Structure 1
């Protein structure tokens, strides 16, 4: 995670001990995080929904908490503080204002303001628009999780907080878990070394789908804790392959493997280039990293962007459709990224083809491959029907591959092609 998010992790660790273990409070000396207070908040907020379309979330919340004792109001404020730790989408001053606004309904002042300063509230991930527009759903879920948690025996609560795997499977049984972003936020805050900082469930599934070569249907069948474990496995595997101590799904070279860019690739690609150029400069200028490690880090960070450049030196268009505009093509690996043994194989331009997306999908999933003569080979009647519908009439050939390309294609025929 580095030093950038250290204040957030430290604040979360304090909350975990002070509130979930000791049943105390983040901002006061009161006993705020207790079973009875959570039950009271559940009755006031979850069981008393306000569906007024012309009132803001905070106007509704103030009315819902109006009959609650100060300790329950404080609990609501502290829960909103925990929920705010993740989001990069909201400015720290807005988060701070929201928390202080709710807290002041209790009639008390905050003892220690250090936990609502900018470094703590800066955020560590993008939460998406729905996290705020559906804030009431996320808060309801948080309350339900805490209601269930404090309903456990003290020994069981200690066991949950001491075991990331146990906690992740335990929380799976709580209603709404699979559709709530706060589920992922909570687990990261409690166990930052075990879980990813990714808040978006869509991103989590895309990553697993891309790196594990699973279908959308199979990915959606996975429980949240199964996705967690797969993400951890993928991360460890990619770090080992690239020779790095740590990798990040939101940084090159992993980012470009799973993230779908816009049609023209412009805004996202420019942002990536700008960010990575800055980071590469920092690595190159570092006096604490030895030269061999620098070379490994630079090669890894250049990653998929470099692969696309290398591929363009070998291939100029989709050989099946004839399209040569790279904005509409996929830089498809022949020997999949996940199977490459070295960074050289990952970045080798000979280990790829520019393919139209619909062709790439069949090739990537192993429904088609290409023979030694370059002809498309497939055995599934449904695949043949799809090709015919797309006006791709068999036999059709890629043409001649160079010797290096042929070696990678042989791997595809033997290990990826479903007809092998």
Structure 2
């Protein structure tokens, strides 16, 4: 047992030195846990942020001025006042995403109770902002008209008062969710890529034959790659959580980081085994890259980190229970977002451990078969 542990340790140190001499992988690690995390948190695609808007105010009335003054950052840029002839050139050039056209006599028609029309031009090529922003603008215009009319016509107070309380994210800041979810996704992605690349690098450089003549077993070779690459991912994710998420983005961490990284270590046990299994199937790095796309996309998109699992078909939910990322997303969100303790996440910890043991056994059997064919 002592010799086995010594072999696993020394082989793992060799993997770390090999990684240190691979500048491409080092750049990938740094990029994944810095810029990728920051960009995912600060550029949420569904967020309406500083959308350019212009207003054609032909009415020049107090009501139209109220509507114009209702658009302000951070959702919209300060409105640009333009003439009707500037609408089409401005939208064709992509200068404005929204152009609100208030016709002459708008306030007069509203006060007289006659049908009043207002035109909203939207650049639908900016699909996400167009959909979200159109709803925002409609609510703003109707709200300003309603408040303006309430000075002249009384409205009955609603018998029901609805109080909204946002738990775990009181300001509804989407960067909180984006950054932490990206950390969870990057742990999965990088662990598979690093471990698989480490084995393929051995094969391409011919050093796997050197290992075959050494007094080491396939179990020791595989275990060394798992602990070495897993340690790199754990250290990188810890630094990213500390400096990028908490310091640069100012996102608070609600739960226990030791508990989260305990769960992450168990997940890495499974995902690194998946990486080794994929490396035994692929013959070279290009094949491994294509295979990684087929594996990583379902793991990230169907595990609940991007969209809630409840919105997926029941069959997909049941199939994804066999994926370690499904339980890791539940575990990570519960700890980092809601401050859950081990009394809440212990089912996910057990599930991840069991899945990791199964994947490790499958990968080890496949690795032994591959080694035997090369011997």
Which interval holds the TM-score relative to the shorter structure? under 0.3
Counting helix residues as a fraction of each chain, which structure ranks higher?
2
Which structure has the higher relative contact order (CA within 8 Å, separation 6+)? 2
Larger Rg: 2
After TM superposition, the score normalised by the length of structure 2 is 0.27
